Amino acid sequence: MDRKLSKALTNWKNRKNRKPLVIRGARQVGKTFLVRSFAKENFQSFIEINFDRTPDKKQLFDSSNIERSLQLLEIEENSSVITQNTLLFFDEIQAAPEVFHFLRYLYEQRPDIHVIAAGFLLEFLLADHNFSMPVGRIEYLHMGSLDFEEFLIAIGQKKLQQFLNTYMLNESIPESIHNKLLYYTQLFFVIGGMPAAVQSYIDSSNNISEALREHQSILQTYEDDFSKYRKKTDHHRLKKVFQKLPALIANKLKYVNIDPHDKAKDLANSLELLEMAKIFYKVKHSSANGIPLRAEVNDKMFKPLFLDIGLVSSSLGLKLTDLTTDNNIMVNQGALAEQFVGQHLLYSGQYYEKPELFYWNREARNSSAELDYLLTINSNIIPVEVKAGRTGTLKSLQVFIAEKKSKTALRFNTSTPVLSEQTTRIAGKDDCKYLFLSLPLYLICQAERLLLL
């Protein structure tokens, strides 16, 4: 499967000042496949070590003598480490944290060698490490599941992806193409972007049931991993929180909605562990009076965002027929549409930036104004509304613009694109003119490009 991150890896490979690269992401988002594909296309020699399967191999790297370690590695793998033409890949590095020392020595003594490390639960390792981390001597790449355009390419709809990639706002979208893209958007709601689920759909000649079967396998794998958290929390509670989260997306999280009889502190601890495992993310509230948005975060107010919309749909027992009527997303419409937009916006930044996402609601008493997301583009805060159908009020968006004096606003729905100049009409507030861009959900990957035109 083609991944956009391949370009990031190519840029990393060609940089003179590159450092050992550590890929951070949840289990089964395609980290290993990405590295193997990259190595096949760009290197003469590829050496891969999986420390979870072969933990004894960490002994090859327990010395600060880098040349000796490389010599032992060549003997063990019956291969040669060729300057500038070998990629070393340390998979499941969380099983051998001592190897982080080796990354440091490689950077300091052999920067000519390309090395990538990957694993899940790295956040636990980084939070609780009792060894010296190679600060300033490694760099990170953050990875999520496939986005919508990667999904289109994977299922053989390259022409549609190219259409989206080159679309300009002054162009009309024929109704037949619009409806086709809405269908594939709805299909993505069900299948999602987990590579194994997408591949199962492809291999079964587009049998959605096979993708749903793979979802259950992935979800069960996550639950099986919870035994590894025993020292940190009650894994039964962790399982309970994990199973509840998909039904709570797009709403401010209240612990009582997870379990009214459990302690908030214990539930919060389970949520923190799931966040560290990158299974869910906190969409944090920001007052949004200026940038950076994180400067005014209220840590007690957040909405849950799950790893992948396909896993959400399977957890809720939804099927494609449950979601579609006349090309409108119907059941659980608001939450799923918000999940779809959110998981894309979360990874819309640079690959080396830690994924983060914010929302806003009016903090005044008896206020119901709430914006789904906030973006920062060219130092401007862009309010974002998400609608599951073709229509919907823009009251919250207009309240935000009237209070924050935003010049641009963005909406996602199921209608064709609209760009217009509008004026707020909020009682007690001065009228404000702003540029309003409404995009169909399927243009999510092109939103920033279109905003900058």
pLDDT at 200 over 50: yes
Of residues 10, 103, 82, 87, the one with CA closest to residue 46: 87
CA atoms of 340 and 184, how far apart (whole Å)? 13
What pLDDT shows up at residue 331? Answer: 47
Residues 36 and 57 in one domain: yes
pLDDT band with cut points at 50, 70 and 90 for residue 159: very high
Q: pLDDT per residue over 160-175, tens digit each? A: 999 999 999 999 999 9
Residues 58 and 194 in one domain: no
pLDDT at 136 over 70: yes
- The total of structural domains in the chain comes to 2
Angle of the 158-166 helix axis to the 175-191 helix axis, nearest 10? 110
Q: What average pLDDT does range 185-191 have in this prediction? A: 96
Q: Where are the beta strands (DSSP E) in 20-74?
A: 21-24, 45-50
pLDDT at 326 over 60: no
Verdict on whether the full-model pTM lies above 0.85: yes
Residues 276 and 422 in one domain: yes
Q: What average pLDDT does range 277-291 have in this prediction? A: 95
Residues 58 and 167 in one domain: no
Residues 182 and 134 in one domain: no
Please name every residue paired with 88 in a beta bridge, in sequence order, or none if there are none: 47, 115
Over pLDDT 90: what percentage of the chain? 78
Q: Which of 92, 113, 142 is the last residue of a domain?
A: 142
Over pLDDT 70: what percentage of the chain? 92
Q: Using alpha carbons only, how large is the chain's radius of gyration in Å?
A: 23
Query: Are residues 304 and 280 in contact, defined by beta-carbon separation less than 8 angstroms?
Result: yes
Residues 138 and 154 in one domain: no
Residues 196 and 267 in one domain: yes
What pLDDT shows up at residue 329? Answer: 47
pLDDT at 330 over 50: no
Q: What average pLDDT does range 424-449 have in this prediction? A: 93
Residues 153 and 60 in one domain: no
Q: Which of 112, 142, 172 is the last residue of a domain?
A: 142
Q: What average pLDDT does range 213-219 have in this prediction? A: 97
What pLDDT shows up at residue 328? Answer: 44
Q: Which of 18-22, 112-116, 207-211, 427-431 has the lowest mean pLDDT?
A: 427-431
Better-scored residue on pLDDT, 235 or 373: 373
Q: What average pLDDT does range 267-278 have in this prediction? A: 92
Q: pLDDT per residue over 112-134, tens digit each? A: 999 999 988 766 665 665 656 66
What pLDDT shows up at residue 442? Answer: 98
Token duo for residue 337: 């549409």
Chain mean pLDDT for the chain: 91
Residue 340's domain comprises: 149-451
Q: pLDDT per residue over 377-414, tens digit each? A: 999 999 999 998 777 778 899 999 999 999 999 999 99
Residues 73 and 96 in one domain: yes
Give the position of tokens 């799931």.
Answer: 274
Q: pLDDT per residue over 352-380, tens digit each? A: 999 999 999 987 766 678 999 999 999 99
Q: φ and ψ at 196, to 5 degrees?
A: -65, -35
Angle of the 99-109 helix axis to the 66-77 helix axis, nearest 10? 110
What pLDDT shows up at residue 98? Answer: 84
Q: Which of 29-43, 151-165, 218-232, 429-443 has the lowest mean pLDDT?
A: 218-232
Strand order in the sheet with 280-286: 297-306, 280-286, 357-361, 370-377, 380-386, 408-413, 433-440, 418-423
Q: pLDDT per residue over 19-38, tens digit each? A: 999 999 999 999 999 999 99
Of residues 265, 274, 216, the one with CA closest to residue 241: 274
Q: Which of 115, 142, 169 is the last residue of a domain?
A: 142
What pLDDT shows up at residue 122? Answer: 66
Q: Which of 40-44, 268-272, 306-310, 427-431 has the lowest mean pLDDT?
A: 427-431
The domain spanning residue 44 has which CATH number? 3.40.50.300
pLDDT at 243 over 70: yes
First to last CA, the chain: 30
pLDDT at 211 over 50: yes
Residues 158 and 306 in one domain: yes
What pLDDT shows up at residue 319? Answer: 77
The answer to whether the Cα torsion of 156, 158, 164, 170 is positive or negative is: negative
Q: What average pLDDT does range 183-202 have in this prediction? A: 97
Better-scored residue on pLDDT, 122 or 10: 10
Residues 254 and 403 in one domain: yes
Residues 138 and 220 in one domain: no
Q: What average pLDDT does range 276-297 have in this prediction? A: 95
CA atoms of 63 and 162, how far apart (whole Å)? 50
CA 282 from chain centre, in angstroms, equals 12
